[in-house]
């Protein structure tokens, strides 16, 4: 059962462009996390959001948790080649069992 759908699945953009990745579900989550994964490595946590409507910023990355806590978005401003990677969202209701989305593979072309 795939509870979290991410879109787009693949994204290739030029350096300096902006982009948004979406994470949608029909289920409500008490918390949602975003991870970035590089080839040959495990995912690394970027942010955790827990409150409906919450917005968190991490340098050029802006994360938003939907008001109903069913969806989330990740916006990257002025993308850099170093942003290239697989972005994964993960939702939880227990705090220790997470359901991961299918992932968005981002390539930023110099």
Partner 1 sequence: DAGITQSPRYKITETGRQVTLMCHQTWSHSYMFWYRQDLGHGLRLIYYSAAADITDKGEVPDGYVVSRSKTENFPLTLESATRSQTSVYFCASQRTGNQPQHFGDGTRLSIL
What residues line the site for partner 1 (CB under 8 A)? 1-2, 4, 6, 31, 33, 40-45, 48, 50, 88, 90, 92, 94-103
The C-alpha angle 43, 23, 37, rounded to 5 degrees, equals 15
Closer residue to partner 1, CB minimum distance, 19 or 50: 50
With beta carbons less than 8 A apart as the criterion, state whether 69 and 28 touch: yes
Nearer to partner 1, 20 or 102 (CB): 102
Greatest Cα pair distance, the chain, in angstroms, is: 41
13 vs 100, beta carbon nearer partner 1: 100
3-state class of 8 per DSSP? coil
Closest CB 4 distance from partner 1, rounded Å: 8
Least distance between partner 1 and beta carbon 17 (Å):
25
Question: How many angstroms separate the CA atoms of 88 and 90, rounded?
Answer: 7
């Amino acid at each position: 059962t795939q509870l979290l759908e991410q879109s787009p699945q693949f994204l290739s953009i030029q350096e300096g462009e902006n982009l948004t990745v979406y994470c949608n579900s029909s289920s409500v989550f008490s918390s949602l996390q975003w991870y970035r994964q590089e080839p040959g490595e495990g995912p690394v946590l970027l942010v955790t959001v827990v409150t409906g409507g919450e917005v968190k910023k991490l340098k050029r990355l802006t994360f938003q948790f939907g008001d109903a806590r069913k969806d989330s978005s990740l916006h990257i401003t002025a993308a850099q080649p170093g942003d290239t990677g697989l972005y994964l969202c993960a939702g939880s209701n227990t705090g220790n069992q997470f359901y991961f989305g299918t992932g968005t593979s981002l390539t930023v072309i110099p």
